[in-house]
Amino acid sequence: MMRLHKLYHRFTLLPFSPLSLPSNPSLLPLAPPLRLTLRLRTAVNFASMASSRLRNLAPLAAAPTEDAAAAFSSSANAATSFDYEDESTIGTKYRVPPPEISKIVDAPPVPALSFSPLRDKIIFLKRRALPPLAEIARPEEKLAGIRIDGKCNTRSRMSFYTGIGIHQILPDGTLGPEIEVHGFPNGAKINFVSWSPDSCHLSFSIRVNEEDSDSSKLTVWIADVKTGKAIQLFKSPNVHLNAVFDNYVWVNNSSLLVCTIPSSRGALPKKPLVPAGPKIQSNEEKNIVQVRTFQDLLKDEYDEDLFDYYATSQLVLASLDGYVKEIGPPAVYTSMDPSPDNKYILISSIHRPYSFIVPCGRFPKKVELWSAEGKLIRELCDLPLAEDIPISFNSVRKGMRSINWRADKPSTLYWVETQDGGDAKVEISPRDIVYTQLAEPIEGEQPTIFHKLDFRYGGISWCDDSLALVYESWYKTRKIRTWLVSPGFEDVAPDILFDRSSEDVYSDPGSPMMRRTQAGTYIIARIKRANDEGKYIILNGIGATPEGNIPFLDLFDINTRKTERIWQSDKEKYYETVVALMSDQEEGDLHLDKLKILTSKESKTENTQYYFVSWPDKKTVQVTNFPHPYPQLASLQKEMVRYQRKDGVQLTATLYLPPGYNPSTDGPLPCLVWSYPGEFKSKDAAGQVRGSPNEFPGIGSTSALLWLARRFAILSGPTIPIIGEGDEEANDRYVEQLVASAEAAVEEVIRRGVADPKKIAVGGHSYGAFMTANLLAHAPHLFCCGIARSGAYNRTLTPFGFQNEDRTLWEATNTYVEMSPFMSANKIKKPILLIHGEEDNNPGTLTMQSDRFFNALKGHGALCRLVILPHESHGYTARESIMHVLWETDRWLHKHCVPNSSDAEEDHETGTVKEHVNKVTTNAESKVVATSGGGSREVSELENEEFHSLPRSSL
């Protein structure tokens, strides 16, 4: 299960490596975009490596922006200048934080960026700021693990673009004047922007009046890139897009295959007043079925009917000249993938019987091969319901999986099949087998075994018959391998190219740069140099070093395995990464002396801009020139700091200080520590430096860095490694290692004189919230208060694994109990603010986790406050919600961190709990009084503290 554990204001395109695989280079968010850091529940996923490098990034960048600008007060007393009302009125409405913070969050976002497939044009996708709560509050259906907006017939809570501007890329690398896409209604919300293969047209969807049931549904539009004029693809006003799963795809330069709402669809199913019978689940066959705490599952037959109603599509083949043809029967189609030669279409769908215990990704799945005209050629597989996938990491579904087209062939399929029944605990060799086969094989011809793997398959990067790279990994050992395979030469044995630990970032050689073919696929770029017969590719690496990341490009000789560094980021001031190849318009090998790349460049004080770099002289041309998103913080101070845990593990963190701050003259500041733990198999790997000291400090809409504007020191992302070496599981010493890491971080900021020992707060989101609660329970001497957002606090409520723990509650009972801060609620004496979205859909972090934890805290007299945000999910989206979260956080820090901590301990809230729009509840008790022998005394939070050896928990 993939978990999103950090959301920053910019999306850095990480070097193309097996650990982070963006796809289509034609879709790229503009600086400063969103940075998404993903945690993988299962093995490293390399599947997208076979295709493009930056695929679908522009739609991601359309998420509500976290860019900002604000007026900053340089007063040393800025953190205490905001006037909080009488506490009897607290919790009656949505609030807005001080202007130093709110103006940053409210600043207009920069657009997203997308290059044409031919690299001759660029579009700017314009965006708006945070959406209002009224949009987030729209009704949604929670079905089969997904959330559907019934009025639009799409996934709910979709962000959108407000406009599209087209620019020609001139010969000197600069941009021509903007051509605005026009012709659609004013106020239209734009989604799913994509280029035609020949770069002559743009396709996109729009929705207009969401109050009206017809015009709120999506229509498909086509814009001429030369003129910007847009028209509807379908002449009939009754044809609407169904975007619950896939939406549409270009099958050639002039035709699209579109998922539409079936014209034969009847009325919305009505929920029966009287059920047909009881809800029954049975396991009379005594099958072992262990599943994590999935949410939004189907509940009954009515939900099944509702899911079918919204998810069923009719596929329509539509040409730009007006030709329209329905192909195939209505079904719940989940993906459409044309072959590189456009002769075939790979069609995936799901069907009944559905499940009440797993989401739709595990429903019965059928994969078929159709002709481009929609004729069924053959069925590739029909996989049964997969309720019994083991919870252990690297466990997978039985049968054919990862079915794709070879990117270097006209119409050759490849896929993988497990040999261990999908159970990672089964010892067998090989574990996975990769097969290939022509789309229409000769009668009786069996699939060809392409490669056998002892670890779990992770994807393939194709090049040609002489070169392909196959990836495999194994989570338990953190081993990762890259195989060199010659697909067209059976007599050439596969060879291991790289064999390393996925945790060892220092040894990461980088991943191959991909180039676009004329068929629109992406393959490994072959490089040739003058008077040299070598077989070269380019490796794009993050360049992790003890001084921070220094990205690079290496020319790699496949035959000799020797590398030559042909480009490297400036390590003194800038952080520059290679985004994509821009010189791949022609077929065949690329000449090194004609190489052209797109890079992103930033520094501590300069926000991200994009550049073209051209060989042989590496001439640089700046493409963008965005203003600083928050100029009032332009001179903030940033430093990557290193320090050591008491067991010798090397730790790192990023220390941010307000503009103009001088510790020698201004003295120590209140400090906010914001982090998220991570698991490792070795101390050496845990101590490696990740990130760069020269990266621009992206400030998100709920980022801890916002409190720089309130004169806080911010210790961002201090490493909290939970290490389980050898056969030891990391979580068996979770609390011990958690506390040791926190102690080292706090000691470092105090040693530097930038943090007041009595004014250090701790916070985190999701697994970081779990961390926060545990630190307040087991290390109360370190922090004056805590902020915990969208966390899970009782691991017995997630009995079949959580985060990176794949043992069950019954296999590791002590671990589950001891590392749950819920079980230590009686030890938490420092003030803790709990915030949670009322509609949290993340596995493990049900909203009741915060409800029950708050009740446990209140039952022991802890000073605590619970804020439930209506309509919000695991991350917060609406402006009202985000502003209120910032107001609550600022108030909490103002009340319990900025003052002397001993004063904060005695500061009581008064009044009763009130029902109000944010459902805020609070407990005013700040002291626990124990009676003994008829007397009473105050119990010190430092008394009788026990440090447990616990593992750690997750979202």
766 is catalytic: yes
How many Cα atoms within 13 Å fall on the side-chain side of residue 13? Answer: 35
106, two tokens: 């409210």
What span, in angstroms and rounded, lies between the C-alpha atoms of 543 and 569?
9
Q: Pairing between strand 432-438 and 412-418?
A: antiparallel
What span, in angstroms and rounded, lies between the C-alpha atoms of 230 and 222?
5
From the list 201, 240, 765, 874, the catalytic residue is 874
454 DSSP 8-state letter = S
182 is catalytic: no
SS3 939: coil
What span, in angstroms and rounded, lies between the C-alpha atoms of 408 and 465?
8
Cα 745 to the center of its chain, rounded Å: 27
Which residue, 719, 781, 713, is CA-closest to 752? 713
472, two tokens: 């495999």
Handedness of CA 320, 193, 460, 445 (dihedral sign): negative
Which residue, 538, 510, 501, 508, is CA-closest to 523? 538
335, two tokens: 């993906």
The dihedrals phi and psi of 181, each to the nearest 5 degrees, come to: -70, 130
277, two tokens: 């019978």
What span, in angstroms and rounded, lies between the C-alpha atoms of 271 and 873?
25
From the list 349, 501, 511, 766, the catalytic residue is 766
Is residue 820 within 8 A of residue 774, CB to CB? The reply is no
SS3 505: helix
Task: Classify each residue of 650-660 as buried b or exposed e, where b means 16 or more C-beta atoms within 10 Å of its C-beta.
Answer: bbbbbbbbbee
How many Cα atoms within 13 Å fall on the side-chain side of residue 900? Answer: 3
What span, in angstroms and rounded, lies between the C-alpha atoms of 195 and 121?
11
What span, in angstroms and rounded, lies between the C-alpha atoms of 598 and 611?
6
Distances (CA, A) of 15 to 36, 316, 552, 558: 14, 37, 9, 20
- One DSSP character per residue, 909-934 reads --S-----TT-EEEE-----EEEETT
874 is catalytic: yes
SS3 438: strand
30 DSSP 8-state letter = P
> Is the bond leading into 353 cis (omega within 30 degrees of zero)?
yes
| Bridge partners (DSSP) listed for residue 72 | none
Cα 372 to the center of its chain, rounded Å: 34
From the list 765, 840, 896, 948, the catalytic residue is 840
> Is the bond leading into 616 cis (omega within 30 degrees of zero)?
yes
888, two tokens: 């609550």
* Residues noted as catalytic: 766, 840, 874
